[in-house]
Amino acid sequence: MHLYLTHQETNGDASNLNPWFEGDIIDAALFVGLKNETTVLYANYGVSDRFDLGVAIPYQRLDLDARIHTTIEHIATAPDPFVVHAFPNGTDENDFTESGSAEGIGDVVVRGKYNFLRDGPKGMAAAVDLRLPTGREEDLLGSGATQTKLYLIGAWQGKRFAPRASAGYTISSGGSDFTGDLPDEVDYSAGFDVALHRRVTLTADFLGRTLRNADRVVIETRTFQFAQRTDPTVRTTTRQTPAPEQGNLNVSLGSAGLKINPVGRLLLVGNVLFALGNAGLQDKVTPTFGIDYSF
């Protein structure tokens, strides 16, 4: 991502044409490396044969490395025989770096689910997820918002093949200085399980989210004006640079994995999440592993 910085105003004329050296710009190329490791402790309790409660407590570790590589573009001062602008190191280029890490409890999710329809192999349930802002938002461990997700789940249980689907709506309240106010979401998913063996199941899912009226970054063409000391003719140059925009954003993920029941009620789960498209800030591939035991 390239950001372009203009010269500080020196004479109050609200332009970068006079004095001529105000026409130079700085290309600031931003590079960010973010590593997130999350361990989730979750539990479900069957209040009745139709109603259960659950809780998921994530523990996260974040490592962030950021670098801005800056380059002075002498579009106004290039013809001058002397150096007008330079970084303290005496060159046209300089790096600014910052890094940090944090770990702790993330946003806790509490869930309630009621199975209101049972008809042979078919079933439907209604559920609500309450995401609480328990993670430290200043360390990027939490969103700073309370989110309530209401959704319906439908499933059909065959002998070897079991499809499922869900649809819901998430209401967000609040946010943080870093994320801003989180948007509401339309959530939807579809998937299936296939029994490969009496102890091995293949699972696959499509996960979709539509963020409503979300703040996002788009690339636009920006025009810069400049003039030179020896030639006051006003010239222009353009650069591709990010700009804020508000609108709906569709984010899609795919998931594939295996469930293995090695013994008794112990279940081992391995999945790979992969991004579908380039929307949103997300990894191309994210592996997940889980251990599930029923009492």
Give the CATH number for residue 27.
2.40.160
Q: What distance in Å separates the CA atoms of residue 280 and residue 290, rounded to the nearest whole number?
A: 26
Q: What distance in Å separates the CA atoms of residue 180 and residue 30, rounded to the nearest whole number?
A: 20
Note the pLDDT of residue 280: 67
CB neighbours (10 Å) of residue 131?
23
Note the pLDDT of residue 193: 96
Q: What distance in Å separates the CA atoms of residue 256 and residue 140, rounded to the nearest whole number?
A: 28
* Residue range of the domain that includes 253: 2-293
Domain count, the chain: 1
Note the pLDDT of residue 236: 95
**Whole-angstrom distance between the N-terminal and C-terminal Cα of the chain?**
50
Note the pLDDT of residue 217: 83
Quickly tell me which residue has 């005496």 as its tokens.
90
Query: CA nearest 1: which of 23, 22, 29, 26?
Result: 29
Residues of the chain with pLDDT under 50: none
Note the pLDDT of residue 153: 97
What lies within 8 Å, CB to CB, of 247 at 6+ separation is 213, 214, 216
